[in-house]
Structure 1
Amino acid sequence: MPDLHEPNLLILLNDVARLIRTQADRRARAHGMTRAQWMILVRLRRCGGMTQRELAEILEVEPITVGRLVDRLAARNLVERRADPADRRVWRLHLTPAADPVLAEIDQVRIAFDAEATAGLAPERRQAVVEALLLMKSNLLAAGEAGAAA
């Protein structure tokens, strides 16, 4: 029988992820937005021109939820919908120039949050954690693809 006080990697990862989400929610609210809105802006900076469906898959929410979030971002002139040149039924999402200062603010909060979360973690240990998490992510993606193919 496993020792319940012994750290379990998957439980610990879940706990850390939950704490990150909770803190990120709090910090986004302090800036008048939601974590989900911040995530949309950051994702669109990485890959502009995504559809609401693509964003919904990444954020693990329903497309209608992303639609409402995008509506709010568009009302603030941070995101705009543009028609897809190949399919008139599809709208592509793009950042507007007004999103730049908001993204700069998000970056400042992220850097401070990262420093707070990793305080006391030596750079080489941090790199080892990143590498381990990337390997775990790769393993899980491969397992998911294998399961989908079966």
Structure 2
Amino acid sequence: MPNQTDPLFLIHDLARQLRLDADRRAGCHGLTRAQWVILFWLDRQPGLSQKELAELVEVEPITIARLVDRLEAHGFVERRGDPGDRRVWRLHLLPPAAPVLAALHAERTAMLANLTRGLPPETLAIVADALVRMKANVVAGLRPRDPVLAPQEIA
């Protein structure tokens, strides 16, 4: 059983608590956390394809299609055909999404304020640097390597 200072346990538990908080906050606006993420991505990168968005959000394309269906029903998103490929739908925010996005940005600001309450700026800079380094270490560890030999192949 991990102790309460185990970094892997702490990072996992913090991420879980943040997801629960985001779920609650998104729900107050009639959305899911997944829909919130989609709106943020489309605000940052208008015209993403459903496939590109699925890769960014790390879900299956069919999941994105269903989430976009709901956002489209709310009048927040529209699908536009890709002029270069009839099979591709490009996703764009519509004007009714603007006030919702503004509210979600305020929720994000409140989440960050709650998360960092009582931490001096110097500590936040150290934490941010440490998280960036940890992420780089994990990403570097995911790079393809030589195939791992099964135990019976080593003997």
Deviation at 1:142, TM superposition (A): 2.8
Give the Cα separation in 2 of the matches to 1:127 and 1:14: 21
**Mapped pair 1:76 → 2:69:** no
Distance in 2 (alpha carbons) for counterparts of 1:148 and 1:84 = 37
Pairs within 5 Å for 1:42-61: 42-61=40-59
- For residues 115-148 of structure 1, give each alpha carbon's deviation from its aligned partner in whole angstroms, at most 9, with x where no partner exists: 111111111111111121122222222332x227
Counterpart of 1:139 in structure 2 is: 137
Larger radius of gyration: 2
Structure 1 runs of 4+ with >6 Å offset: none
Match of 1:123 in 2: 121
Q: Supply the distance in 2 between the matched residues of 1:120 and 1:50 (Cα, whole angstroms).
A: 38
Q: Distance in 2 between matches of 1:149 and 1:80?
A: 45
- 1:40-64 CA-to-partner distances (Å, cap 9, x unmatched) read 0001111111111222222222111
SS at match of 2:85: coil
Aligned-residue Cα RMSD (Å) equals 1.8
Q: Is 56-65 or 16-25 further displaced after alignment?
A: 56-65
2:87 counterpart residue number: 89
Distance 1:149 1:86 in 2: 39
Q: Give yes or no for the alignment of 1:39 onto 2:37.
A: yes
Range 34-43 or range 133-142, more displaced: 133-142
CA distances 1:94-134 after superposition (whole Å, capped 9, x unpaired):
11122111110001111111111111111111111112112
User: Per residue, is there more strand in 1 or in 2?
Assistant: 2
In 1, Cα distance between the equivalents of 2:72 and 2:146?
38
- When the two structures are superposed, what TM-score results if normalisation uses the length of structure 2? 0.87
Hey, what's the Cα distance between the residues in 1 that align with 2:146 and 2:25? 40
Percent identical pairs in the alignment equals: 52
CA distance in 2, matches of 1:139, 1:121: 25
Aligned to 1:28: 26
**Distance in 2 (alpha carbons) for counterparts of 1:137 and 1:4:** 21
Distance 2:145 2:61 in 1: 22
